[in-house]
Amino acid sequence: MAEFPAKRLRRLRYNPTLRRMLAGVRLSPLDLIAPLFVRSGSGVRKAIASMPGQFQHSPDSALETVRRWSDAALPAVLLFGIPDSKDASGSSAWDGAGPVQTLVGLLKAKLPDVLVITDACLCEYTDHGHCGVVVGCGEGGADIDNDATLEALAKVALSHARAGADVVAPSAMMDGQVAAIRKALDAEGFLKTAILSYAVKFASSFYGPFRDAAQSRPQFGDRQSHQLDFASSRGVVSEALSDIDEGADMVMVKPALPYLDVIAELRRRTDLPIAAYQVSGEYASIQAAARAGWLEERAAAMEAAVAIKRAGADLIVTYFAEQLAGWLAEGH
C-alpha cells in the first residue's frame, strides 16, 4: 500500500475550469464536413426516414441548406447524387447536367468559400446498386471488373472537376482508383483538384440507412469482394499507404467509431490529413436511442465526435455537423 494513495489522478478533475483547460481535444466546426444528398427538380426537400433530420434536396433547396450551414461556420460539404435514371454501367454518374454537377456549379458560383467535396462512386447510379462494372456474383460477393470500373470512376471525377469541385472523394474501393483519377485530372489540367480517398472502407452493416437515403442498396450480392472485412487486422493500413503512393492528398477511414484503432494506427503511419466518416448507421443509432429516451443525443454526438478526433482524425464527416456547430457555438 502506498503511503499517500487516492486522489492523485482525480485531483485534476474537480475544477471545471481546469478540466476545460486540460481538454487536449477541442472540437471546432472547422473539423467538420457535412454530407448532403442531391436529386433533380426544384423545391424538393424530402425527409429520409432512416436518418431523421436528413433530407434529399433538389439543387435550389440544397443551396439554401448549405448557405445556412456556412452561416453556422461549417466549412465543407460532401455531395452524393440521386439520379433520375440508372443503368448497368452507371452512366448518369458522369452526366455533366446531373444533380451533383449542377449543385457543384451553383455552390461555387453562390458560396465560393464553401469547400465542395464530391463522392465519386457508381453505386447510386447503377441499376444493380454495385460500385462498378459487375461481371458476376459468387461467394465472394458481386465480382466487379476492376479496370473497367477505373475508367468509369475517372469519368465521374472529371465531370465533378469540370463542374468546379474542390476535392473528389473516390469511394468504390477499386485497386488503382486514386492513380487513375489523378492521371485523368492532370491530363485535363485540374492540377489543383485534390483527392480525398476513402482508403480504408470496411464492408459494414452501418451503411444500411445510407443505402435507403441514396437508393443504392445492392440488388444482389454484397460488397465484400472490394470493401475490407471488418475482422481483418492485416492489410488495413497498407490500403491507405498505397492510396497515398498513388497520389491521394487526404485519406479517409470509414466507419469511424468502430474503427478508432485504425485511425490511431494510420495517424502513426502518415503525416497526411486523415478524415473519418461517422456513417449513417452510427448517426441513426444515436438518433434512435435518443428518440427512445435511452441516451441524450447532444452528449452522445459530442462524445463520439471528440473520440474520433482524439483517435487522430483531422476531419470528421458527420450527419451531426449542423447540430455540432450549433452546440459548439453555445460553448460546449
Q: Which residues bind ligand PBG (CB under 6 A)?
A: 119, 121, 123, 171, 207, 210-211, 223, 279-280
What is the C-alpha R_g of the chain? 20
Instruction: Kindly report whether the peptide bond that precedes residue 255 is cis, defined as omega within 30 degrees of 0.
Output: yes
Q: Which of helix, strand or coil describes residue 69?
A: helix
Helix H or strand E encompassing 283: helix 280-291
Q: Which is nearer to ligand PBG, 5 or 197 (CB)?
A: 197
Residue nearest to ligand PBG (CB): 210
| Strands 141-144 and 115-120, bridge-based pairing | unpaired
Q: Which is nearer to ligand PBG, 1 or 300 (CB)?
A: 300
Dist. CA 254–CA 169, nearest whole Å? 13
Dist. CA 106–CA 66, nearest whole Å? 11
- Cell numbers for 219, please give them: 440488388
For residues 44 and 57, is the Cβ–Cβ distance under 8 A?
yes
Query: Catalytic residue positions?
Result: 201, 254
In degrees, rounded to 5, the angle at the alpha carbon of residue 259 between the alpha carbons of residues 256 and 261 is: 125
CB of 134 to ligand PBG, least distance (A): 14
Q: Which is nearer to ligand PBG, 121 or 200 (CB)?
A: 121
Q: Which is nearer to ligand PBG, 66 or 93 (CB)?
A: 93
CB of 210 to ligand PBG, least distance (A): 3
CB of 4 to ligand PBG, least distance (A): 50
CB of 30 to ligand PBG, least distance (A): 21
Candidates 220, 293, 295, 307; CA nearest to 258 is: 307
Q: Which is nearer to ligand PBG, 54 or 58 (CB)?
A: 54
Q: Which of helix, strand or coil describes residue 279?
A: coil
CB of 278 to ligand PBG, least distance (A): 8
